Each structure stands twice: as structure tokens, then as C-alpha cells.
């Protein structure tokens, strides 16, 4: 993939994180009963049930943004073809593992997995 395509995705996921993050904080602060009620077990569970797909989208954005950003930093600090290839693949594997683990957590909360 071209570097400009990766960077475009980096910017778009950044904006996505900002929007969904703001939504997340708004949900905690303003939805019925304020912050103390928002972090009660029953409330958290109901939020997860209602916004499962949104959380999954948030996870996709975060995973790409974090690991692509990390790759960019590491590739800039040191050079070399083998090093760059290794860093890229490490980030892909780490990103995939994070995404799968996060998805598993979301699916457990949604009651799909036990």
C-alpha cells in the first residue's frame, strides 16, 4: 500500500477516534444519572448491548491508528530494509492480535461468546 494511502487512513481513523471518543465521554457524562450511574455494572452492560458495533468500529480505528503510527515512528528512527520489513510485520501481527482480543471482549459482553 502506498504511504499516502496509509497516511490518509491514519488521518481518517484519527478523526474517527476523536468523534467516537467524544461520543463515549458524552455517554458517560450526560446519559441518565451522570458519571457515577454510568459506570455502574448494569449501566455499562446496557451500553455495551446497545453500542456493540460502535465499540467494534472504535476498536478498528484505534488498532490501525496506534500500530500504523508506531510503525511510522520506528521506521523513522532506524533505517534498513530488513528492519523496516520486520517492524511492519511485527505491527501487523500485534495489531491483528489486539483487534482479535478486543473483538473477543466485545463479543463476550454482547453475549455472543461465553
Q: Does 2 contact another protein by CB under 8 A? A: yes
Q: Which residue among 51, 69, 72, 98 contacts another protein (CB under 8 A)?
A: 72
Radius of gyration of the chain from its Cα atoms, rounded to whole angstroms = 17
Residues whose CB is less than 8 angstroms from the CB of residue 10 and which lie 6 or more positions away in sequence, other chains included = 64, 65, 68, 69, 72
What is the Cα 95 distance to its own chain's centre?
A: 10
Instruction: Decide: 20 and 54 in contact? Cβ < 8 Å.
Output: yes
Q: Does 90 contact another protein by CB under 8 A? A: no
Q: What is the Cα–Cα distance from 98 to 112, expressed in whole angstroms?
A: 19
Q: Which of residues 7-46 bind another protein (CB under 8 A)?
A: 7-8
Q: Which span (27-35, 41-49, 69-77, 94-102) binds another protein, by CB under 8 A?
A: 69-77
Q: Which span (3-11, 45-53, 58-66, 106-114) binds another protein, by CB under 8 A?
A: 3-11
- CB count in 10 Å sphere of residue 96: 12
Q: Which residue among 41, 42, 76, 114 contacts another protein (CB under 8 A)?
A: 76
Q: How far is the CB of 9 from another protein (least distance, A)?
A: 11
Contact residues for another protein, defined by CB under 8 A:
2-4, 7-8, 72, 75-77, 79, 84
Amino acid at each position: 500500500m502506498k504511504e499516502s494511502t496509509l497516511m490518509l487512513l491514519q488521518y481518517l481513523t484519527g478523526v474517527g477516534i476523536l468523534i467516537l471518543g467524544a461520543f463515549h465521554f458524552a455517554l458517560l457524562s450526560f446519559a441518565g444519572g451522570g458519571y457515577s450511574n454510568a459506570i455502574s455494572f448494569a449501566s455499562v452492560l446496557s451500553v455495551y448491548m446497545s453500542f456493540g458495533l460502535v465499540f467494534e468500529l472504535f476498536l478498528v480505528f484505534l488498532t490501525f491508528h496506534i500500530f500504523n503510527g508506531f510503525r511510522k515512528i520506528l521506521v523513522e528512527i532506524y533505517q534498513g530494509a530488513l528492519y523496516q520489513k520486520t517492524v511492519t510485520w511485527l505491527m501487523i501481527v500485534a495489531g491483528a492480535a489486539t483487534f482479535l482480543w478486543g473483538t473477543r471482549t466485545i463479543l463476550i459482553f454482547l453475549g455472543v461468546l461465553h
